[in-house]
Copies of this chain bind each other. A is one copy, B any other.
Amino acid sequence: MLNETWIINQLKAHFPHTIGDDAAVIPASGNQSYIISKDLLVEDVHFRRTYCSPANLAYKALQVNLSDIAAMGGKAQFVLCGIAIPMEQAQYAQDFLATLVTACKDAGVILIGGDTTRSTDKLFISISVIGSSNTDNIKYRSTAKVDDAVCVVGALGHAHLGLIACEQSLPDLLDYKNAFLRPKAKSDEGFWLAEKTCIHSMMDISDGLFIDLKRLCLASQVAAHIELNDLQPSAVFKNGCDHLQLNAINVMLTGGEDYGLLCTVDNAQYAQLAEDFKQKFGYSLQRIGNIISGTDIHFTEHAVPTHLVLTPFSHFGEAP
């Protein structure tokens, strides 16, 4: 069976000290390290040209990589762009590259190289972003501790609602479409959180909270307890889900491509951190549960244990 987790575990067996986080870390000068991401975007897997403009695609391609750097606590500096272009998509590719240039400048990152080549039918994009950080500040997913508060930065499930709206060509749900088509990496938040020693672990939420938290727990050899009541979907979001006949809580737990942050925080220091975060960024560092010993993710609803049947997002259409 082929799936992303299986592949990563196979590779990790051979290179145990380097594989498994959102981005790779290599030494830079003094107490600094470089953090390097690589994300692929494949036409008709991650986007469709029918509803994703070249400008949106370029913006998103950069942001998903910036999100990987933010998840480790780095500040993005450099970008490499590889693009494979079908002959008949020349104009789309040109517009993509023009926006990528602007998006790089807006994000304060320098395009330093890449590769352009032909593709037979689909557009294929491979971006790498190189960020840097004080080595001591870099956050990993393998260092969560029992009793940590499990927190999320950013909305959950919005991108998934947008994806469904785009796929079904619905005229409304514009904010959610925007969350899917133009996600904004939590770059400032990631860098700020990484400076705090009370943040024990961090990663981005790219494949959905449920599967990403599962990965964090596996890497840290811990379990998590999530209180569903703390997910607090807004009335507008619930209406959107109802409109599409979706369960809001399920969408929040399994919807991919939100590019928020998932972190675990020293329990004793959560309250002060949340206050500082709110003051700094104007919105909440949302606590949704706790790290506990054991394995897997355990849910309660108003403190009553509940069993959810969730189908996590997988690029291979199989259970990860």
Contact = CB atoms under 8 A, between A and B. Distances in A.
A23 B130 CA distance: 14
Given A26-B130, A28-B28, A112-B19, A317 B118 contact: yes
A155 interface: no
A315 interface: yes
B122 A19 contact: no
A87 interface: yes
Instruction: Report the copy number of this chain in the oligomer.
Output: 2
Contacts of A214: none
Contacts of A101: 11, 14-15
A119 B11 contact: no
A316 interface: yes
Interface in A40-65: 40, 42-46
A113 B85 CA distance: 25
A239 to B, nearest CB: 32
Interface range for A: 35 or more
B113 A36 contact: yes
Contacts of A236: none
A188 to B, nearest CB: 23
Contacts of A21: 113
Contacts of A249: none
Nearest to A20: B113
A118 to B, nearest CB: 4
Interface string A60-100: 00000000000000000110111111010010011001100
Nearest to A114: B38
A259 interface: no
Contacts of A113: 18-19, 21, 23-24, 36-38
Interface string A6-44: 011011001100110101111111100010111110111
B14 A112 contact: no
Nearest to A12: B111
Interface centre among A38, A39, A98, A120 (most CB of B within 10 A): A38
B126 A40 contact: yes
A204 to B, nearest CB: 13
A46 B117 contact: yes
Contacts of A97: 7, 10-11
CB-based closest 3 A-B pairs? A126-B126, A24-B113, A24-B112
Interface of A: 1-2, 4, 7-8, 10-11, 14-15, 18-19, 21, 23-30, 34, 36-40, 42-46, 77-78, 80-85, 87, 90, 93-94, 97-98, 101, 104-105, 110-122, 124, 126, 128, 130, 315-317
Given A7-B97, A40-B124, A122-B122, 18 more contacts: A2-B85, A10-B97, A14-B111, A15-B104, A18-B113, A19-B111, A19-B112, A21-B113, A24-B113, A25-B112, A27-B28, A28-B29, A29-B29, A38-B81, A38-B126, A45-B118, A118-B317, A120-B122
